[in-house]
Amino acid sequence: MKAQTLLLTLAACVLFVNAKDSRCPAVDDPLIAVHFPHPTDCSKFLTCSWGQLVEQSCPAGQLWNDARKYCDFPANVQCDEPNPPANECPQIADPEHTVFIPHADCAKFYICTWNGVAVEKDCPAGLHWNQQLSHCDYPQQAGCVSDGDGDSLQPEVGRRALR
Protein backbone atom coordinates (compact mmCIF):
# COMPACT_ATOMS: atom_id res chain seq x y z
CA MET A 1 0.00 0.00 0.00
CA LYS A 2 2.86 2.39 0.86
CA ALA A 3 4.52 1.64 -2.46
CA GLN A 4 1.32 2.44 -4.39
CA THR A 5 0.85 5.70 -2.48
CA LEU A 6 4.46 6.72 -3.10
CA LEU A 7 4.17 5.81 -6.79
CA LEU A 8 0.96 7.86 -7.16
CA THR A 9 2.58 10.82 -5.38
CA LEU A 10 5.63 10.62 -7.63
CA ALA A 11 3.45 10.46 -10.75
CA ALA A 12 1.41 13.47 -9.58
CA CYS A 13 4.59 15.49 -8.93
CA VAL A 14 6.06 14.62 -12.32
CA LEU A 15 2.83 15.68 -14.00
CA PHE A 16 2.77 18.83 -11.87
CA VAL A 17 6.32 19.87 -12.83
CA ASN A 18 5.58 19.26 -16.52
CA ALA A 19 2.07 20.72 -16.40
CA LYS A 20 1.10 24.11 -17.74
CA ASP A 21 1.70 27.04 -15.41
CA SER A 22 -1.58 27.98 -13.73
CA ARG A 23 -0.80 31.70 -14.13
CA CYS A 24 -0.92 31.36 -17.92
CA PRO A 25 -4.20 31.27 -19.86
CA ALA A 26 -5.38 27.84 -20.98
CA VAL A 27 -5.47 29.00 -24.62
CA ASP A 28 -2.96 31.41 -26.17
CA ASP A 29 -4.41 34.58 -27.70
CA PRO A 30 -1.88 36.10 -30.13
CA LEU A 31 -3.46 39.54 -29.59
CA ILE A 32 -3.03 39.52 -25.80
CA ALA A 33 0.43 38.97 -24.35
CA VAL A 34 0.60 37.82 -20.73
CA HIS A 35 3.69 38.93 -18.79
CA PHE A 36 4.94 38.51 -15.22
CA PRO A 37 7.94 39.93 -13.38
CA HIS A 38 10.97 37.66 -13.06
CA PRO A 39 11.24 36.28 -9.50
CA THR A 40 14.90 37.23 -8.96
CA ASP A 41 16.10 39.59 -11.73
CA CYS A 42 14.58 43.00 -12.50
CA SER A 43 16.20 43.08 -15.95
CA LYS A 44 14.12 40.07 -17.00
CA PHE A 45 10.45 39.12 -17.22
CA LEU A 46 8.35 36.04 -17.97
CA THR A 47 5.96 35.62 -20.91
CA CYS A 48 3.25 32.99 -21.28
CA SER A 49 3.71 30.82 -24.35
CA TRP A 50 1.59 27.72 -24.90
CA GLY A 51 0.79 27.58 -21.20
CA GLN A 52 4.43 27.77 -20.05
CA LEU A 53 6.38 30.71 -18.65
CA VAL A 54 9.29 31.70 -20.89
CA GLU A 55 12.08 33.92 -19.62
CA GLN A 56 12.76 37.13 -21.59
CA SER A 57 15.46 39.80 -21.12
CA CYS A 58 15.05 43.55 -21.31
CA PRO A 59 17.42 45.53 -23.56
CA ALA A 60 20.71 46.55 -21.91
CA GLY A 61 20.21 49.27 -19.31
CA GLN A 62 16.48 48.71 -18.91
CA LEU A 63 14.42 46.97 -16.24
CA TRP A 64 11.00 45.31 -16.28
CA ASN A 65 8.22 47.76 -15.36
CA ASP A 66 5.48 45.45 -14.12
CA ALA A 67 2.97 48.28 -13.65
CA ARG A 68 3.21 49.18 -17.35
CA LYS A 69 4.13 45.68 -18.58
CA TYR A 70 7.18 46.70 -20.62
CA CYS A 71 10.92 47.29 -20.26
CA ASP A 72 11.67 50.80 -19.09
CA PHE A 73 14.46 53.05 -17.82
CA PRO A 74 15.52 52.32 -14.22
CA ALA A 75 14.29 55.75 -13.00
CA ASN A 76 10.73 54.73 -13.99
CA VAL A 77 10.82 51.30 -12.36
CA GLN A 78 10.29 50.21 -8.78
CA CYS A 79 11.83 46.80 -8.43
CA ASP A 80 12.69 45.07 -5.20
CA GLU A 81 14.66 42.00 -6.11
CA PRO A 82 14.04 39.16 -3.66
CA ASN A 83 16.98 37.23 -2.38
CA PRO A 84 17.84 34.39 -4.76
CA PRO A 85 18.07 30.86 -3.36
CA ALA A 86 21.09 30.16 -1.18
CA ASN A 87 22.24 27.42 -3.58
CA GLU A 88 22.36 29.03 -7.00
CA CYS A 89 21.67 27.20 -10.21
CA PRO A 90 24.55 26.23 -12.48
CA GLN A 91 25.13 28.83 -15.21
CA ILE A 92 25.37 26.13 -17.87
CA ALA A 93 22.86 23.37 -17.40
CA ASP A 94 23.05 19.78 -18.50
CA PRO A 95 19.79 19.18 -20.42
CA GLU A 96 19.76 15.56 -19.25
CA HIS A 97 19.76 16.52 -15.55
CA THR A 98 17.19 18.84 -13.99
CA VAL A 99 18.46 20.74 -10.95
CA PHE A 100 16.13 21.41 -8.01
CA ILE A 101 16.77 23.69 -5.02
CA PRO A 102 14.77 23.61 -1.78
CA HIS A 103 12.73 26.70 -0.84
CA ALA A 104 12.37 28.34 2.58
CA ASP A 105 8.70 27.27 2.45
CA CYS A 106 8.36 23.47 2.68
CA ALA A 107 5.48 23.51 0.16
CA LYS A 108 7.65 25.12 -2.55
CA PHE A 109 10.86 24.43 -4.44
CA TYR A 110 12.96 25.95 -7.22
CA ILE A 111 13.65 24.37 -10.58
CA CYS A 112 16.69 25.63 -12.49
CA THR A 113 16.26 26.79 -16.07
CA TRP A 114 18.85 26.04 -18.72
CA ASN A 115 20.34 29.52 -18.37
CA GLY A 116 20.87 29.30 -14.62
CA VAL A 117 17.73 30.94 -13.23
CA ALA A 118 15.85 29.45 -10.28
CA VAL A 119 12.09 29.49 -10.93
CA GLU A 120 9.81 29.04 -7.92
CA LYS A 121 7.25 26.22 -8.08
CA ASP A 122 4.53 25.10 -5.68
CA CYS A 123 3.88 21.54 -4.57
CA PRO A 124 0.26 20.38 -4.85
CA ALA A 125 -1.84 21.20 -1.76
CA GLY A 126 -0.87 19.22 1.31
CA LEU A 127 2.52 18.08 -0.04
CA HIS A 128 6.05 19.19 0.83
CA TRP A 129 9.22 19.24 -1.24
CA ASN A 130 11.43 16.20 -0.69
CA GLN A 131 14.95 17.27 -1.69
CA GLN A 132 16.39 13.78 -1.34
CA LEU A 133 13.93 12.33 -3.88
CA SER A 134 13.47 15.52 -5.98
CA HIS A 135 9.69 15.51 -5.89
CA CYS A 136 6.71 16.65 -3.82
CA ASP A 137 5.84 14.16 -1.13
CA TYR A 138 3.71 13.66 1.96
CA PRO A 139 5.04 15.90 4.79
CA GLN A 140 6.01 12.94 6.99
CA GLN A 141 8.03 11.47 4.09
CA ALA A 142 9.57 14.73 2.85
CA GLY A 143 11.45 15.41 6.08
CA CYS A 144 11.07 19.17 5.75
CA VAL A 145 10.22 21.07 8.93
CA SER A 146 9.85 24.78 9.62
CA ASP A 147 12.08 26.38 12.24
CA GLY A 148 9.34 28.87 13.18
CA ASP A 149 10.97 31.79 11.34
CA GLY A 150 9.52 30.84 7.95
CA ASP A 151 12.64 28.88 7.05
CA SER A 152 12.49 25.20 6.20
CA LEU A 153 15.06 22.70 7.27
CA GLN A 154 15.65 20.10 4.58
CA PRO A 155 17.53 16.90 5.37
CA GLU A 156 19.76 17.56 2.34
CA VAL A 157 19.99 21.23 1.46
CA GLY A 158 22.26 21.10 -1.56
CA ARG A 159 21.33 21.07 -5.21
CA ARG A 160 20.09 17.82 -6.63
CA ALA A 161 20.06 16.74 -10.24
CA LEU A 162 17.33 14.36 -11.29
CA ARG A 163 18.64 11.64 -13.55
Domain boundaries, the chain: 35-76, 83-162
Q: Average pLDDT for residues 142-161, to the nearest whole number? A: 54
35-39, 44-48, 123-127: which is most confident = 123-127
Question: What is the distance between the alpha carbons of residues 8 and 125, in angstroms, rounded to a whole number?
Answer: 15
According to the model, what pLDDT value does residue 125 have?
94
φ/ψ of 17, rounded to 5, equals -65, -35
Contacts of 8 (CB under 8 A, 6+ apart): none
What confidence tier does 139 reach under pLDDT thresholds 50, 70, 90? very high
Query: Is residue 146's pLDDT more than 70?
Result: no
CATH of domain 83-162: 2.170.140
Write down the mean pLDDT value for the chain.
76
What is the helix (H) or strand (E) element at residue 108, kind and residue range?
Answer: strand 108-112
The pTM for the full model equals 0.45
According to the model, what pLDDT value does residue 136 have?
95
Bridge partners for 92 per DSSP: none
Question: What is the distance between the alpha carbons of residues 131 and 137, in angstroms, rounded to a whole number?
Answer: 10
